A and B are shown apart, each in its own frame.
Chain A
Amino acid sequence: MNRPTFGYAVAALAAAASFAVPLMLDRSQLTIFILLGTAVIVTTGLSLLMGYAGQVSLGQGSFYAVGAYTAGLMAVHGLPTLLGLAAAPVLAAALAALVGVPLLRLRGHYLAFATLAVQLILLSLVGQFEFTGGDIGLRGIPQLGVGDATLIDPLAYAYVTLAAAALVLLVTRNLIKSRPGRGLRALASTEVAAESAGVPVGRYKLAVFSLSAAYAGLAGGIYAFYLGYISPGSFPVLLSVQFVVMAVVGGLGTVWGPVVGATLITLLVQALNSLGTMPGMPAYAPDVLSYAVYALLLILVLLFMPRGLLPSIGSRLEDRRAISPTRS
């Protein structure tokens, strides 16, 4: 089987599985499935930003929050919920385009800390304002729907999330194999050479930063409608760290890496959560366990599979059937 066919087969299998799985889940498992889906969406954007374009963001949670608040506030004020869901990625992207102008002049650690700062500032602002509900948050966000028909069933949300994740994955796959996608991958290696090859480096960095923010905003919108309640506490810095861990563990610079990373981490965190909340465990156990697992996983992956799970496994498979016709 050649590579593209193999890729399509895996994609078809994954699509079929993720379509079937929600039917077999109970209510609380569906919630996990939906959260997993939103994590896939955010992580796909982050992987595009970090893996392909080489720009770090430790503040992806802030765009997730902007999306959630955009959708939530619009819905609470009686605007059509679908409009809210559509506006969520747009506003998140707009914020990214705004802060991106000064931020993207920074590189590496500096950019990481600056994006982290954006999230901290945003959270404290959201906590201050009355119209956002302050620290208490925004309650009673209506259900997603068109006119009188609303989605109440978690199963329906599962499929909305699935559709959004599929869209985001498709857009990402298309993008990286196009002119701007090649430009992004080029500037990740050397901005100087990319510029001289005609790549408008500054504009591209801003565009990919905004696109990754749009993904996060879309996920945030779904999250707000599904839970019906958001507060600054829903978007801790740990959430941003979690997205980075998912992206790195799954494999940066791959389309499917974020899916693998997000699934693995989400399931692991759930397992640890149930372990941490078992009778006899101290109250801080769940927190400690989840922090510990991020740290441990990150260290293990960086030590043994520095390119992430998917590329490492992929190249191992490829070695097996390697034919290198040009090795002289």
Chain B
Amino acid sequence: MLQTDRISRSFGGVFAVRDVSLSIAEGELRGIIGPNGAGKSTLFNLITGHLRPDHGGLTYRGRRIDRASPHHRASLGISIVFQGARLFRGMTVLENVMVGAHTWTRHGFWSGALRLPRYWREEHRIRDRAKAAVDRVGLAPWAGRYAESLPLGHQRRLQIARALCAQPKLLLLDEPASGLRAEERQQVARVVRQLHREGLTMMLVEHDVGFVTGLADRVTVLDLGEVIADGTPEEIREDERVIAAYLGEGAADA
């Protein structure tokens, strides 16, 4: 599905991501963990196209996407749920999700402003799919509310719904559970697990190791921009370097 070939990106001479080669298989749920500043978010930005790599390349479904813009990559099927809550304010939950439909619809300013046939054809489908996505994440009762008025946990699920409305083939989740209460984390985990069961390929960045190892098929550990370990959740938990670099001595004892 996705291969990164020794991609690197530095800021002011410091590598944020260095020679990272990953291969994500179709249907895989890959966890990415690492301490603060390990390069997890930079890696995601390189995949979404918000950052360009200094070296190395990206191959997605057999084609190079290094030069594709973020919105082009989105239309190729790469969606992301951002860290925090990057919502579209002043728009309802449903409208937020409808924006995601940009990837598979075409009508532009003329069709929209003049209500040409293309608008009518697409608008109903957009609304239906967006409603389905809102339903999936359990936000149907909030569909008409302004996005910014929702609690954080709901906002995260809203972002997931928006990404789903784009009909992604590869979904990136950047710390979807951070800052949430236990119950909200469970809701997010349930949605992710369900999507995994349906065969959606995902990459999950999380600070909380337990959350990732409970969900992921494989886990890649980054430290200072480099891959220091890669394996099943069980292997990762046992890995000496991981324990030293990331979990720390205290965690190893516990």
Select A195's contact among B74, B95, B109, B113, beta carbons within 8 Å. B74
What 0/1 readout, one digit per residue, does chain B (150-184) give for beta carbons within 8 Å of chain A? 00000000000011001000000000000000000
In the bound complex, CA of A181 to CA of B123 (Å): 12
Q: Does chain A have a CB within 8 A of B115?
A: yes
B interface residues, tally (CB under 8 Å)? 43
Select the stretch in A96-104, A149-157, A170-178, A217-225 that faces chain B.
A170-178
Q: In the complex where A174-B114, A179-B107, A196-B79 touch, is A190 in contact with B102 (Cβ < 8 A)?
A: no
Q: How far is the CB of B52 from chain A (nearest CB, A)?
A: 14
Which chain A residues border B163 with CB–CB below 8 Å?
197
Given known A179-B122, A325-B141, contact A174–B112 (CB-CB < 8 A): yes
A207 vs B110: C-alpha distance in the bound complex, in angstroms? 10
Question: What 0/1 readout, one digit per residue, does chain B (71-101) give for beta carbons within 8 Å of chain A?
Answer: 1001100011010001111110001101111
Interface status of B126 (Cβ within 8 A of chain A): yes
Q: Which residues of A contact B91 (CB under 8 A)?
A: 182, 185-186, 189
**Which of B89, B102, B114 has the most A CB atoms < 10 Å from its CB?**
B102
Q: Is the CB–CB distance between A186 and B99 below 8 Å? A: yes
* Interface residues as binary, A187-220 with B (CB distance below 8 Å gives 1, 0 otherwise): 0111011111111110000010001000000000
A2 within 8 A of B: no
Residues of the B chain whose Cβ atoms lie less than 8 Å from the Cβ of A172: 113
Given that A186-B91, A196-B50 are known contacts, is A171 also in contact with B113, CB under 8 Å in the complex?
A: yes
Judge whether B113 and A199 touch: CB under 8 Å: no
Is the pair B90, A174 in contact by a Cβ cutoff of 8 Å?
no
The distance in angstroms between the C-alpha atoms of A182 and B113, with both chains bound, is: 12
- On whether the beta carbons of A196 and B48 are closer than 8 Å, the reply is yes
Could you tell me which A residues sit within 8 Å of B by CB distance? 171-172, 174-175, 178-183, 185-186, 188-190, 192-201, 207, 211, 253, 325-326
28 of the cross-chain contacts (CB-CB < 8 Å) are A178-B107, A179-B101, A179-B102, A180-B108, A180-B109, A182-B91, A182-B95, A185-B88, A185-B91, A188-B90, A189-B86, A189-B88, A193-B82, A193-B86, A193-B87, A193-B88, A196-B48, A196-B70, A197-B79, A197-B102, A197-B162, A198-B74, A198-B99, A200-B71, A207-B109, A211-B113, A326-B141, A326-B142
